[in-house]
Amino acid sequence: MKNVFGFLLLLILVGCVSEPLIKNQNTGNALGTTYSIIYLAEDQLDYQQEIDSVFRVVNQSLSTYIPTSDISRINEGDSTVSVDHMFKEVFSTSTRVYEASNGYFDPTVGVLANAWGFGPGEQLELDSLKVDSLLSYVGWNKVQLNGDGTISKSHPAIRFDFNAVAKGYAIDRLGALLDEKGIENYLVEVGGEILAKGQNRISGKQWSVGIDDPQVEVGRQLKLIVSLENRAMASSGNYRKFRIDESTGKKYVHTIDPKTGYTKNSSVLATSVVADTCAEADAYATAFMAMDLEASKSLLESQDGLEAYIIFLDENGDTQEFATAGFTQLIKN
């Protein structure tokens, strides 16, 4: 009887041993940048076709660089477009962040993004009068999502630009794809923005991701490394996204202040935000680039589950860092 019991116990223990996990990975180019998607499973898998499909449908809904996309048609004045659930979700997220940031996150800056040379439209020679005139076409309170899925704009010249939230949203959709496939541990990275689910069960550790040093303009150097589990992180900075006027040599950064209409060379060098969704992290990281540091701190105190790391220059021009308590706990020593 003892031998039979021991044999049964052995069978139970053997049955409880899980299969070793396999690292599956898809890499490529999409949304104007690169991506890397790692997902762990007991089998060798390849979801490239499904991944391509996610990028394709997100682009068709939200890309301003595709003339036939929903957002491009709306920007050109087509009021008959009934937007899909993706556009609606991004619209909803944008509304929440617009309100929380007191208007510093505003996807109706499309006309200004074009004018300053950071969009698909025509770049303009700008002076104060021209900027003031363009500001009349900016304002999230000037657009509305109707019950039938159409979009109303108070002026036909208003242009949406979801580039500060669409990439994060695409990452969330990729995560939803992997969730539907039953994948419990994955790391989705698109252009440096991250969604981490579960852990890296192969190494037995949490997923680790790096944050670039914004003061290193040539090459890349990590400022710090953080661990993520069931969280998303997005970063924003002007250290690589800028253009130089060939005639004047003046530097124009990609962060546009929706209240003044000008690109903003502020004391904030870079921001990294951790949130439950990458779309939300993406939007807030952009907002914090336009907001004053103290305003960003106040917003962070009012939002549960939102963590941030901000690199800035003090009044003496020295580099300083601010991190919420929750973000500090994520930093790997």
- Across the chain, mean pLDDT equals 86
> Which has more confidence, 197 or 218?
197
Domains observed in the chain: 22-328 (3.10.520.10)
pLDDT of residue 215: 67
Q: Report yes or no: 284 and 306 within 8 Å, Cβ to Cβ.
A: yes
User: Cα–chain-centroid distance for residue 272?
Assistant: 10
Statement: residue 120 has pLDDT above 70: no
Of 12-21, 108-117, 130-139, highest mean pLDDT: 130-139
Q: Report yes or no: 288 and 268 within 8 Å, Cβ to Cβ.
A: yes
pLDDT of residue 118: 64
pLDDT of residue 52: 98
Q: Report yes or no: 197 and 230 within 8 Å, Cβ to Cβ.
A: yes
Tell me the average pLDDT across 89-116. 91
pLDDT of residue 245: 44
pLDDT of residue 9: 42
| Dihedral pair phi/psi, residue 193, rounded to 5° | -100, 145
pLDDT of residue 85: 97
CB within 8 Å of 1: residues ≥ 6 apart: none
pLDDT of residue 250: 43
Tell me the average pLDDT across 317-331. 93
pLDDT of residue 264: 63
Tell me the average pLDDT across 3-9. 43
pTM score of the predicted model = 0.86
pLDDT of residue 126: 59
Statement: residue 282 has pLDDT above 70: yes
Statement: residue 158 has pLDDT above 90: yes
Question: Within 10 A of 302 (CB to CB), how many other CB atoms are there?
Answer: 9
Statement: residue 11 has pLDDT above 50: no
DSSP string, 231-288: EEEEEEESSSSEEE-TTT--EEES-B-TTT-SB---SEEEEEEEESSHHHHHHHHHHH
C-alpha to C-alpha distance for 10 and 4, rounded to whole angstroms:
10
